[in-house]
Every structure is written in structure tokens, then in C-alpha cells.
Amino acid sequence: MHPFHWVPALGERHASTDPRPSGGYPAGSTITTLCDRQMNAEVGEMAWLWTTCPACNAEAHRMVGGVRQTAYA
Ligand SMILES: [Zn+2]
């Protein structure tokens, strides 16, 4: 279990350490991302096809100690 969650926002998939309700962040909820920005979470099938935010990806990898991630769900 990683201390962060992936969340689509602003056209990219970001990671956040904000507490996530079961079922995911509600659409429009404000989250603070690992790339140190605040944005509103979005939902939907297409949102998960967006590219991963490079800054969030790098930070997420750092947080898990360099373990290669095979899935972002
Ligand atoms: Zn990000």
C-alpha cells in the first residue's frame, strides 16, 4: 500500500497524498499533488488514459524507494 493515490486532473494523471474517500476522489474535489500544485480532481474513463505527470511520477517512485511500479491503478 503506497501513501499516495493517482488522480486525473488538468489533462494529466497526478499523484496525491491527500486522504482519499473509498471510491476515489469526488469530481471537483481539491487535491494537493506531489508536484506541489492544487487542482480539482476529475473522473471518467478517458481521464485514466491521460499521460502521467512527470513530476508526480518521479516523486512517487522516490516515495516507494525506487521500486518499479507495474500498475497505476
Ligand atoms: Zn503532478
Compute, in angstroms, the gap from residue 13 CA to the centroid of ligand 1: 7
pLDDT surpasses 80 at 69:
no
Q: What is the mean pLDDT of residues 5-20?
A: 95
The pLDDT score that the predictor gives to residue 60 is: 93
Give the pLDDT confidence score for residue 66 in this predicted structure.
62
CB atoms within 5 A of ion ligand 1 belong to 14, 33, 35, 53, 56
What are 19-46's pLDDT values in tens digits?
999 888 999 999 999 999 999 999 888 8
Between 66 and 53, the more confident residue is 53
How confident is residue 1, by pLDDT bands cut at 50, 70 and 90? low
- The rounded distance, in Å, linking the Cα atoms of 68 and 61 is 7
Compute the distance from residue 32 Cα to the ligand 1 centre, in Å: 9
Residues 10 and 39 sit within 8 Å (Cβ to Cβ): yes
Distance CA 41, CA 1 (A): 21
Q: What is the pLDDT of residue 3?
A: 86
Distance 61 CA to ligand 1 centre (A): 13
